[in-house]
Amino acid sequence: MRVLIVTAGSRGDVAPFTGLGQRLQQAGHQVALAAHDRFADLVRECGLEHRALPGDPVELVRARTAAPSPEAAKSVFAGFLDELGDGVIAAVAAGTDVLLTASGPAPLSRLVADGFGIPSLGVYLAPGVPTREFPPPGLPVTGQLSPADNIAAGRELLARTGSLYADVLRRLRTRLGLRTAATEASSAADDWPICHGYSPEVVPRPADWPATVHVTGYWWPARPPGWQPPDPLVDFLGAGPPPVFIGFGSMTPHHERLHDVVAAAVERAGVRASSSPAGPDSRPRETTSCWSATCRTTGCSSGRPPWSTTPARAPPGPGSAREYRRFPCPSWSTSPSGRTGCTASASRRGRCPCTS
């Protein structure tokens, strides 16, 4: 079977699907991964076919940040979606029997799959279906929301997403010859199948999700043949107890100030730490920063989902962290960008993701 995986965004939106793609290949399928050109080498080095999607996530972030008004930023994003829709059509037309789509391009991918008469499936890296059990990822929260508030917030987020995609979906329907009643962008809570690629030990599957929505466990990124971590990082990891990993995902903070803040926090906490570069590019490189201080192993038992923006309790002392049962090698990780992928990579067996 010819499987096409469609994703858009930064490296963290692409890398997990290299692992999923390899497993599908091992099961006997032909797998292509449609992603932006800057990730072509990553995809091919993992033995997968790369199908190019237009647009550049780094330039998109810069353009939206530089936009003089919210209306201008929305216009920039609309142009990006128009190009992306055309790219998804071209990727599917290159030969596809089934389409798997990440959450970002899902409204486009579902519609294109309908137009080509092929089945589609959601492959999401973070919870993407409204639930009464917790608010949607990235929602600023103060205090504890009620179950009714949680599901209302999730539905509101889907409605806002639908409004962003509405114009491009209308144009795609016309191009594909589909009636207006075809797939709606906000219809994630129907019987469309979705697999979530994170561990139920990190975020348990909500009881009120439809039966077609699953939590499968993480899709770990494939490791390109011959890859080795940089020698300075290997030396640092071998020189003491497991460090704290501090990741910033696709955030684009002021790098010089960020370095000073992280260094001060590590010194104050008395831990060893490793931090990767921040930004939507997020390419592994030999500039990973490492800090050492008087070591104190800690764990996190805040009890909140890993994307929560509500301040959590300070980490407890050794021996009191329930996370020890989940991650055999105790280490405390933090990732504020709202991505379960960042949290998973940092927390996997309590090690730096470069060595997992």
Least confident of 36-45, 62-71, 276-285: 276-285
What does DSSP say about strands 213-215 and 194-196: parallel, antiparallel, or unpaired?
A: parallel
| Protein fold of 2-215 | Rossmann fold (3.40.50)
Least confident of 19-23, 244-248, 347-351: 347-351
Of 103 and 325, more confident: 103
**Packing angle between helix 70-93 and helix 106-116, nearest 10 degrees?**
30
pLDDT digits (tens, 9 = 90+) for 1-29: 999 999 999 888 999 999 999 999 999 99
> CA–CA distance from 42 to each of 33, 35, 154, 214, 225 (Å)?
10, 10, 33, 27, 11
Distance between CA atoms of residues 180 and 169, nearest Å: 9
Distance between CA atoms of residues 219 and 342, nearest Å: 12
Q: Considering the chain, what percentage of its residues have pLDDT values greater than 70?
A: 72
Domain boundary assignment for the chain: 2-215, 231-355
pTM, rounded to two decimals: 0.76
pLDDT digits (tens, 9 = 90+) for 252-293: 555 567 778 888 888 888 888 887 665 555 444 434 455 554
CB under 8 Å to 232, separation ≥6 — which residues?
Answer: 286, 288, 290
